[in-house]
Amino acid sequence: MVVSEKAQLQNGADAGALAIAQECARDLDDIDCLPTAPIARSLANSNALDTKSNVKNVIVDKTARKVTVTTGALQDGQAPNRISLLFANVLGISSSEVTASSTATWGSPTSGPAPFPITFSECELKDGPGWQVVEFRKKSDATPACAGGPPGGFGSLNQVPGKCEAFVDIAHSASGSNTGNTGAPHDCVPLLQEWRTKIEAGEAPVGLFPIYRSVSDSGNNAIYQLIGFAAFEVHGWKFKQEGNSTFPDSFRDNYYAGYKCSSTQCIGIIGKFVKMVGLDSAYTLGPYNPDMGAVVRLTLEEATP
């Protein structure tokens, strides 16, 4: 009985910590980014089989980007955080304290997998949240002091062998760039099929794409100076210069009025930058950057009782 109660309380603490951290990542002034967050009690109760639990403590540290939720048992006739022990009464033990705690943190990714082996220029991010065509072979940009793509390169990154991804650490420069008109990146057809299905169903996929501030060298020797990951909502793409390329090399590249990638030289992704708060343990987190995507995850820290 104690083990079952503990598991329910842990589920409630985990859910509460993650939910509050997500709200803090979206808006530090939100009512659910406070020690009195209503969502903490709601999730603690919904994870209890009898729909009753005690939110013993909620600690929100906005500076450290961390929230800790501690839950306890709540049983009729017992003090908060305690449950009665029917059979242990014969040993003189009438009740037991049962609590659980969980800590979650939020921040912007500084290293981890780029789910698609492409990097975008900070120029594109500065263009704002509206629809745009992010061109991989862009050599310049109208935004002052902003680097376009590498001459002769396509903005691609060196892939993890056998995967449609690249591992990125913004503390180090990234290398890559494909100088050929080769179409969709290797091993990416299953992901592109998944994206197409979601787009056609009206649920455009969102990915965290690495962003670079400057680029050196050219062609397949291009080196990108990275600054972080930004969330981009994908609505279409074109990976070959031919005007009539087909899936997987292109999808809806001539579909959206005013946002097309149908010219001979155009290679890129159609969509828009969005504010995203996701749950993923694969990333190392740093200070939250409101222009980038945010990630929330549970930590292994123990809460103070």
Which of the four pLDDT bands, split at 50, 70 and 90, describes residue 8?
very high
Rounded to a whole number of angstroms, the distance between the first and last alpha carbons of the chain is 22
50 lies in the same domain as 92 = yes
130 lies in the same domain as 93 = no
105 belongs to a structural domain: no
Looking at residue 67, what is its pLDDT?
97
Which of the four pLDDT bands, split at 50, 70 and 90, describes residue 305?
very low
236 belongs to a structural domain: yes
Three-class DSSP labels, the chain = CHHHHHHHHHHHHHHHHHHHHHHHHHCCCCHHHCCCCHHHHHHHHHCCCCCCCEEEEEEEECCCCEEEEEEECCCCCCCCCEEECCHHHHHCCCEEECEEEEEEEEEEEEEEEECCCECEEHHHHHCCCCCEEEECCCCCCCCCCCCCCCCCCCCEECCCCCCCCEEEECCCCEEECCCCCCCCCCCCHHHHHHHHHHHHCCCCCEEEEEEEEEEECCHHHEEEEEEEEEEEEEEEEECCCCCCCCCCCEECCCCECCECCCCCCCCEEEEEECCCEEECCCCEEECCCCCCCEEEEECCCCCCC
167 lies in the same domain as 240 = yes
Task: Specify the number of domains making up the chain.
Answer: 2
126 lies in the same domain as 265 = yes
126 lies in the same domain as 75 = no
Which of the four pLDDT bands, split at 50, 70 and 90, describes residue 48?
very high
182 lies in the same domain as 265 = yes
304 belongs to a structural domain: no
52 lies in the same domain as 11 = yes
Is the pLDDT reported for residue 45 higher than 80? yes
Could you tell me what percent of the chain has a pLDDT over 70?
85
Is the pLDDT reported for residue 28 higher than 50? yes
140 lies in the same domain as 263 = yes
218 lies in the same domain as 137 = yes
Among the candidates 75, 97, 119, a domain finishes at 97
275 lies in the same domain as 149 = yes
Among the candidates 97, 119, 154, a domain finishes at 97
CA gap 41, 117 in Å, rounded: 41
185 lies in the same domain as 261 = yes
303 belongs to a structural domain: no
Mean pLDDT, residues 264-269: 79
Q: Of 70-74, 233-237, 238-242, which range is least confident?
A: 238-242
52 lies in the same domain as 128 = no
Is the pLDDT reported for residue 208 higher than 70? yes
Bridge partner list, 278? 295
CA gap 275, 280 in Å, rounded: 16
Residue with the two structure tokens 């169903």? 201
Among the candidates 57, 73, 97, a domain finishes at 97
161 belongs to a structural domain: yes
274 belongs to a structural domain: yes
Q: In b/e form, how buried is each residue of 236-249, taking b as 16+ CB within 10 angstroms? A: bbbbbeeeebeebb
**How many Cα atoms are found within 13 Å in the side-chain-facing hemisphere of 85?**
15
CA gap 26, 169 in Å, rounded: 24
Residue 67's domain spans which residues? 2-97
